[in-house]
């Protein structure tokens, strides 16, 4: 969002700047960008994400991009610019899907549609691969069949992983879920496993967290 806000003006710029709690316009007026407080903040956030993930970012365009914008986007947000041919949207879309495939290490054929490329549109893509080993994995000996309600409210009988141990758990009758916190080998990070209560479905929990509004 920072890279997007960097190229905005007017009301959109004001709204996103307020959301990010930063005014990125100052980056255009600094020769040594990395010494800017704003730049250091976003670079630090990026480094923290890259500590535990394989993340890559780029933006695709068919028009001339202000060179200073490309430079700042690359230095601060690690966004690299790629050009696509607007006269051949099928080929352009295929190239973007292949770019994503190369970073997520899986075939991606239809994430982006042929209608995406446009002569007045920038396409920002961020790929994120996350892998973090738990201190103690689930013990397959304790796996058993149990009832699970999916996001379409279907009641399924699925293999449920189990293990014996002591963990931090958020559990309150006022909420439709419990949260199990799993420590990782890197003590700075935890994974949070959200478990719906018996009378709640996965879809209920997603709505409680307002996931549809987020995505």
Q: Locate tokens 């419990």: which residue?
A: 178
- Give percent of the chain with pLDDT exceeding 90: 1
Range of the domain at 47: 1-130
φ/ψ of 75, rounded to 5, equals: -70, -45
> Is 4 inside a domain boundary?
yes
- Give percent of the chain with pLDDT exceeding 70: 77
Q: How far apart are CA 79 and CA 84, in angstroms?
A: 16
Report the number of distinct structural domains present in the chain: 2
Q: Do 162 and 194 have their domain in common?
A: yes
> Is 147 inside a domain boundary?
yes
Q: Do 118 and 148 have their domain in common?
A: no
For range 161-173, the mean pLDDT: 82
Q: Do 45 and 149 have their domain in common?
A: no
Residue 215: is its pLDDT beyond 50? Answer: no
> Is 135 inside a domain boundary?
no
pTM: 0.51
For range 28-44, the mean pLDDT: 77
Question: Is residue 58 packed enough to be buried (19+ CB in 10 Å), middle (13-18) or exposed (0-12)?
Answer: buried
């Amino acid at each position: 969002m920072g890279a997007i806000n960097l190229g905005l003006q007017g009301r959109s710029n004001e709204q996103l700047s307020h959301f990010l709690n930063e005014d990125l316009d100052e980056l255009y007026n600094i020769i040594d960008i990395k010494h800017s407080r704003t730049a250091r903040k976003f670079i630090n956030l990026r480094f923290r994400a890259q500590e535990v993930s394989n993340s890559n970012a780029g933006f695709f365009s068919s028009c001339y991009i202000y060179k200073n914008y490309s430079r700042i986007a690359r230095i601060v947000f690690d966004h690299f610019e790629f050009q696509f041919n607007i006269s051949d949207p099928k080929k352009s879309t295929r190239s973007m899907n292949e770019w994503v495939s190369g970073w997520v290490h899986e075939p991606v054929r239809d994430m982006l549609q042929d209608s995406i490329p446009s002569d007045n549109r920038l396409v920002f893509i961020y790929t994120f691969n996350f892998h973090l080993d738990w201190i103690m994995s689930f013990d397959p000996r304790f796996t058993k069949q149990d009832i699970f309600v999916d996001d379409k409210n279907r009641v399924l009988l699925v293999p449920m992983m189990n293990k014996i141990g002591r963990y931090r758990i958020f559990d309150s009758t006022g909420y439709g879920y419990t949260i199990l916190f799993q420590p990782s080998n890197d003590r700075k990070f935890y994974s949070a496993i959200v478990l719906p209560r018996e009378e709640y479905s996965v879809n209920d929990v997603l709505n409680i967290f307002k996931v549809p509004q987020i995505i």
